[in-house]
Structure 1
Amino acid sequence: MTDLMSVRKPRWGLLGAGPWAEQTQAPALATHGGIEFAGVWARREEAAAALAAAHGTRAFSGDQGVEELLASCDAVAFALPPDVQAPFAVRAARAGCHLLLDKPIATTVAAARSVTDAVEGADVASVVFCTLRFAVDTEPWIEQQAAMGGWFTAHAQWLGSLYAADDAPPQTGSFAASRWRREKGGLWDVGPHVLSVLIPVLGDVTQVTAARGPRDTVHLVLRHESGASSTTSVGLSAPPKASGAGIELIGDQGRVMLPQWSDAVTSFHRAMDALLESARTGRPHGCDARFGLRLTEILAAAESQLS
């Protein structure tokens, strides 16, 4: 594994130039003092150019541009749709780049496994940006609850209102315009966030039952390795006044709620630091590509039960 810490300022690239890249990845890469923001590639040349110009870096375009960016970087961050991300992640790993992936890493088990195989075959580090695993307030909370143990059950709800109205036109430049989110729904968009909290606290999922609710809403009942159970409701089409997110743990210590979180840029900085540390030490992070594969396996199992 390449030791990024042996490079005075590791060079990082960004693949993707949509709303998430504009709001989170690019600002984080541009303001992290320990790295050099080497460039942006996107499928839309004009989007890459605009984002690169906004952050004082170089734009890359076309298939040759991908190769040029990867060849010049030590690590790559992703802001691409999951099933676009997966083959690019394979290319980046094979080029020797460490990977800061977006969630989910793919929406098929085969594609997710191809990413983990490439990461392990190339001996590069990987981190999946599940925001709650890196946010200042929630990361230590997750670690504390996992260490405490004794949890009996948990209830999670993550309901957005992105698609609250069927006849609402997609908002250009917003997450609502995301084709993959509209097709795959909250199960795949916000489901990984919920699982990224429940699994480290309650253990891996050993059984999943899924049922459809209104619109894209999905309800999950999960059994965990610890013997605890959990229930989850996720979706992107709740009425605006009903939207919100929360996770409650219930057990020997009573009831505790996941703290509120904010500032995705700071969370992304912390994910970058986690990847740098994993590359330096050779120790896999708990939220790496292998964990990303497990999330895809669970979500695919749930999706297969929906009619």
Structure 2
Amino acid sequence: MRIALLGTGPWAERVHAPVLAEHPGIDFAGVWGRRPEAAAALAGAHGVPAYEDLDRLFADVDAVSIALPPAVQPDLAVRAAEAGCHLLLDKPVALTVPDARRLAEATARNHVASVVFFTVRFGGEQALWLEKQAAVGGWFTARSDWLGSVFAPGSESPYAASPWRQEKGALWDVGPHALSVLLPVLGDALEVTAAAGPRDTVHLVLRHTGGASSTLALSLTAPVEAGGTSMELRGTAGVAHLPERGEGPVRALHGALDALRESARTGESHPCDAAFGLRVVEILAGAERSLADGGPAGL
């Protein structure tokens, strides 16, 4: 699979480009960025061409790996899908429901494979644990904490300068990750209620189709000493805890690329495709309505 990278920021430089360069089933075919000089530098570091003409890039490759802000991603992903390119998407796939729906519809209409890179869904022991818990069933409730320190005092995160994270906060940055692990285990969400916490912290309560409920705590401003990720399930099988992350995003991206290649080969949709990305955006938008209205939001 010939695949090009769209994006030149820290996520593209630290994760996407190195993985595309070393993945054995991938031909890293080029880089495009909104800043041509940054695209040339990143492409040169990996010995691949830099593109300024997107239509030419789409014509030269089988797929694109997108590492761009979520407000920018939908338009370019739709163009790529219409050119017949398979899509490795970043989360959230968009910042509005109409944009996310337009993207999902484009992948279906053009019969291209799509995979959204939710890191836990492609990462080793945690991914296997999720499959096991979904098969067990009988869950009564779940609790999930995704507490990051990107904007906390003393943080040295390379993502602290991200304008969209500064604007949208934890709900839209780590919220997609939390939903990506809860929904396959507890079922789709019927209703969401949101409450604001300190700084950008948001607390969500979800009611799921299987009858279970879940609570989420999301933050990018937690103290460095208090940050971390956890998930606890309680039900007829007892209590289960999400294993600690043993592999970083680099290993997970290899898994996401394998999933994209398989979906493109078989024509079968992956569980984390653009349609699932749309559902995540619908739930996040529902949470925003709940914050504004002060009550539950139907989904």
Q: TM-score, normalised by structure 2?
A: 0.95
2:123 alignment partner, one of 126, 135, 150: 135
State the match for 1:176 in structure 2: 160
**2-side partners of 1:136 and 1:32: how far apart?**
17
Distance (Å, rounded) in 1 between the aligned partners of 2:39 and 2:241: 40
**Which of 56, 78, 87 is the equivalent residue of 1:90?**
78
1:65-104 matches, cutoff 5 A:
65-104=53-92
**Of residues 240, 244, 260 in structure 1, which corresponds to 2:224?**
240
How many residue pairs get aligned? The number is 291
Find the partner of 1:126 among 114, 123, 145.
114
Equivalent pairs: percent with the same residue? 60
Task: Using the TM superposition, give the Cα deviation of residue 37 of structure 1 relative to its aligned residue in structure 2, in angstroms.
Answer: 0.3
- Contact 2:192–2:290 (Cα < 8 Å) also in 1: no
DSSP-derived class of the 1:305 partner: helix
Structure-2 separation of matches of 1:182 and 1:42: 21
> Could you give the per-residue CA deviations for residues 42-64 of structure 1, whole angstroms, max 9, x where no partner exists?
11112111211121111123xxx
Secondary structure, counterpart of 1:82 in structure 2:
coil
Which amino acid counterpart does residue 210 of structure 2 have in structure 1?
Answer: S
Matched, 1:26 2:17: yes
Shift of 1:239: 1.2
Give the equivalent residue in structure 1 for 2:139: 151
Per the alignment, residue 5 of structure 1 pairs with none
The answer to whether the 8 A contact 2:93-2:281 is kept is yes
User: Which residue matches 1:37?
Assistant: 28
Shift of 1:263: 2.2
Q: Which runs of 5+ in 2 are unaligned?
A: 293-299
Residue 161 of structure 1, CA deviation: 1.1
Query: 2:179 — aligned with what?
Result: 195
Q: How big is each residue's C-alpha offset from its partner over 1:263-295, in whole Å with a ceiling of 9 and x where there is no partner?
A: 211111110110111111111000000000000
Deviations 1:192-228 (A, max 9, x none): 0010000000000011000100010000000011100
Conserved 8 A contact 2:171-2:284: yes
What is the Cα deviation at residue 133 of structure 1?
0.6
Deviation at 1:66, TM superposition (A): 1.2
Matching residue of 2:295: none
Instruction: Output one character per residue of 1:111-152: Cα deviation in whole Å (capped at 9) or x when no partner.
Output: 000101110111101000000110011111111100010111
Report what 2:296 is aligned to.
Answer: none
Taking the aligned partners of 1:161 and 1:33, their CA distance within structure 2 comes to: 34
